[in-house]
Chains A and B, each alone.
Chain A
Amino acid sequence: MVKAISQGNVAARKRNKSSRALRKPNRSLGGDIFIWVILAFFGAFFAFPLVFAINNAFKPLDEIFIVPPNLWVINPTMGNLQDLFIIMSRSWVTFTRYIFNTIFITAAGTVGHLFVASLGAYAVSKYVFPGSKFFFGLVITTLMFNGYVMQIPNFLILAQLNWIDTYWAVVIPAFGMPLGFFLLKQFMDTVPMSLIESAKIDGAGEWLIYSRIVMPLVKPALLTAMIFSVQALWNNPQSLLIYTEQLKTLPLAITQIIGSPHSPNVARAGVNAAGILIMMLVPITLFVFAQSNILKTMASSGIKE
Chain B
Amino acid sequence: MQTTSFQRYRAKKKAMRAHTWAEMKKHKTLYLFMLPFVLVFATFTLAPVIMSLGLSFTYFNVLEAPRFIGFQNYLNLFLSDDIFLIALRNTLILAVITGPVGYICAFLFAWFINELPRFIRAFVTLVFYAPTIAGAAFLVWAIIFMGDANGYLNAILINFGIINEPNLWLTDKDYMMPVIIVVVLWMSLGAGFLAFIAGLSTIDETLYEAGLVDGVKNRWQELWFITLPNMQGMLMFGAVMAIMASFAVGEVTQNLAGFPSTDYEVHTIVNHLVDYGAIRFEMGYASAIATILFLTMIYTKVLVGKFINSIGR
Q: Interface residues, chain A, CB within 8 Å of chain B?
A: 15-16, 19-20, 24-28, 31-32, 35-36, 38-39, 42-43, 45-47, 49-50, 52-53, 56, 65, 67-69, 71, 115-117, 119-124, 127, 129-130, 132, 135, 138-146, 148-154, 156-157, 172-173, 175-176, 178-179, 181, 205-207, 210, 228, 231, 234-235, 240, 251, 254-255, 258, 260-262, 272, 275-276, 279-280, 283-284, 287-288, 291-292, 294-299, 301-305
Contact = CB atoms under 8 A, between A and B. Distances in A.
A19 B204 CA distance: 12
Contact of A26 (B46, B218, B243, B290): B218
Contacts of A24: 208
B233 A142 contact: no
Nearest to A140: B240
Interface in B1-55: 20, 23-24, 26-27, 29-31, 33-34, 36-38, 40-41, 43-49, 51-52, 55
Contacts of B49: 142, 145, 149-150, 153
Contact of A284 (B133, B143, B247, B278): B133
A169 B46 CA distance: 17
Contacts of A71: 152
B280 to A, nearest CB: 12
Interface in B297-311: 297-298, 301, 305, 308-309
B135 A305 contact: no
Contacts of A205: 29
Nearest to A159: B62
B33 A261 contact: no
**Which 9 A-B pairs give the minimum distances between C-beta atoms?**
A302-B233, A120-B37, A261-B142, A176-B40, A68-B155, A153-B48, A298-B198, A150-B48, A280-B134
B161 to A, nearest CB: 13
A71 B66 CA distance: 54
Q: Is the interface of B mostly helix, strand, loop or mixed?
A: helix
A232 to B, nearest CB: 10
Contacts of A25: 212
A213 B184 CA distance: 42
Nearest to A181: B37
Given A38-B112, A129-B24, A175-B36, A288 B41 contact: no
Given A35-B112, A280-B135, A280-B136, A65 B150 contact: yes
Interface in B216-263: 216-219, 222, 231-234, 236-237, 240-241, 243-244, 247-248, 250, 255-256, 258
18 contacts: A19-B205, A43-B124, A56-B140, A69-B152, A129-B23, A129-B24, A141-B298, A144-B301, A145-B294, A172-B40, A175-B36, A176-B40, A235-B133, A240-B278, A294-B194, A295-B125, A295-B197, A301-B237
